[in-house]
């Protein structure tokens, strides 16, 4: 297997690997661009993705200091307006004052590097360091599901390994870190980090990266439902038709009987 020596891992590529080894191979090793729709109707799906991007852009501008009133006047979309109003109605009030919106950090992981692209970092040098990720699904998924997501593992790990780049050399210790997922419903999900979790995450991810680098074969996932929203499904002979946008949104939200299957906010990070 030929993973380039300068390959940079991310929560997105590691989540792809966790979901389906073949998807990782197609997307990151063979770099196959497969022009299939993820969901139909295509225009509505596209609009949904653009709404998420615009929301992140609005929040980014607000965190940089542009007044909310000035930003609000540019919103012409009711879905986006509802998210924006929720953002203003449910602020995260106890954050450290120093802010780094839309910031990327990377750290060594074995022979490779691990990258995290943060929506917002709020850091008090020598004190708390909070990672905020803006989500747009209507309600938080089950906490246990979120806890297992690679994003929840990768972001605090990278901040602990590379945070001193932000603080002028003062290390950020795992016990100072908290990860918060914000949702429009106003009930954020918080994950305090610990030294023990940091050590577990580092060991597990290092092992994962070594496994990937040594792999000769990347099998297709046996979980057929994972293929329903995968753009490679016709290439893998796992179905021709795109899923409906409603099914995609249902899969994002999950239900009492079934955990979410997909994180739409992650799709925009595939470029990483
Ligand atoms: S279609 Fe299914 S088997 Fe093929 S890459 Fe996607 S998730 Fe994996």
Q: Mean pLDDT, to the nearest integer, of 31-52? A: 76
Looking from the CA of residue 221, the nearest atom of ligand 1 is 3
188 CA from centroid of ligand 1 (Å): 32
Looking from the CA of residue 236, the nearest atom of ligand 1 is 4
Of the pLDDT bands very low, low, confident and very high (cuts 50, 70, 90), residue 160 is: very high
Residues framing ligand 1 (Cβ under 6 A): 20, 22-23, 26, 220-221, 226-227, 230, 232-233, 236, 238
Residue with tokens 């439902």: 225
37 CA from centroid of ligand 1 (Å): 14
Q: Which of 15-29, 36-50, 73-87, 177-191 has the lowest mean pLDDT?
A: 36-50
Q: In the Cβ-directed half-sphere of 178, how many Cα atoms lie within 13 Å?
A: 17
Pocket test for ligand 1, best of 29, 221, 270 (most atoms within 8 A of CB): 221
pLDDT over 60 (residue 78) = yes
The verdict on whether omega for the bond into residue 71 sits within 30 degrees of 0, i.e. cis, is no
CB 122 within 8 A of CB 134: no
pLDDT over 60 (residue 205) = yes
- pTM of the complete model: 0.89
Which domains, ranges and CATH numbers included, belong to the chain? 8-267 (3.90.320.10)
pLDDT at 3: 84
DSSP 8-class letter at 131: E
Distance CA 143, CA 68 (A): 31
Integer-rounded Cα Rg, in Å, for the chain is 19
Find how far residue 1's CA is from the centre of its chain. Answer: 26
The string of pLDDT tens digits covering residues 2-19 is 788 899 999 999 999 999
Q: Mean pLDDT, to the nearest integer, of 78-94? A: 93
Of the pLDDT bands very low, low, confident and very high (cuts 50, 70, 90), residue 258 is: low
pLDDT over 80 (residue 238) = yes
Highest averaged pLDDT of the listed ranges 29-38, 108-117, 256-265: 108-117
155 CA from centroid of ligand 1 (Å): 26
Nearest in space to 51 (alpha carbons), one of 94, 82, 22: 82
Distance CA 225, CA 148 (A): 18
């Amino acid at each position: 297997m030929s993973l380039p020596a300068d390959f940079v891992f991310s929560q997105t590529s590691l989540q792809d690997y966790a979901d389906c080894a073949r998807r990782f191979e197609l997307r990151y090793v063979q770099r196959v661009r497969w022009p299939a729709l993820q969901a139909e109707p295509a225009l509505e799906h596209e609009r949904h993705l653009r709404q998420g991007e615009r929301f992140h852009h609005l929040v980014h501008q607000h965190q940089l200091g542009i007044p909310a009133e000035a930003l609000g006047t540019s919103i012409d979309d009711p879905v986006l307006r509802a998210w924006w109003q929720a953002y203003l109605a449910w602020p995260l009030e106890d954050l450290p004052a120093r802010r780094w919106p839309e910031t990327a950090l990377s750290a060594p992981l074995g022979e490779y590097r691990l990258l995290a692209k943060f929506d917002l970092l709020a850091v008090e040098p020598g004190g708390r360091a909070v990672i905020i990720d803006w989500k747009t699904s209507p309600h938080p998924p089950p906490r246990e599901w979120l806890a297992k997501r690679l994003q929840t593992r990768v972001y605090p790990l990278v901040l602990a390994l590379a945070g001193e780049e932000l603080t002028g050399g003062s290390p950020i210790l795992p016990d100072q870190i908290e990860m918060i997922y914000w949702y429009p419903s106003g009930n954020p999900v918080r994950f305090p980090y610990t030294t023990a979790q940091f050590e577990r995450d580092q060991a597990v991810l290092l092992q994962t990266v070594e496994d990937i680098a040594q792999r000769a074969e990347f099998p297709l996932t046996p979980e057929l439902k994972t293929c329903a929203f995968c753009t490679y499904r016709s290439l893998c002979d796992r179905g021709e038709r795109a899923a409906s946008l409603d099914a995609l949104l249902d899969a994002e939200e999950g239900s009492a009987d079934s955990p979410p299957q997909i994180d739409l906010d992650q799709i925009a990070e595939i470029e990483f």
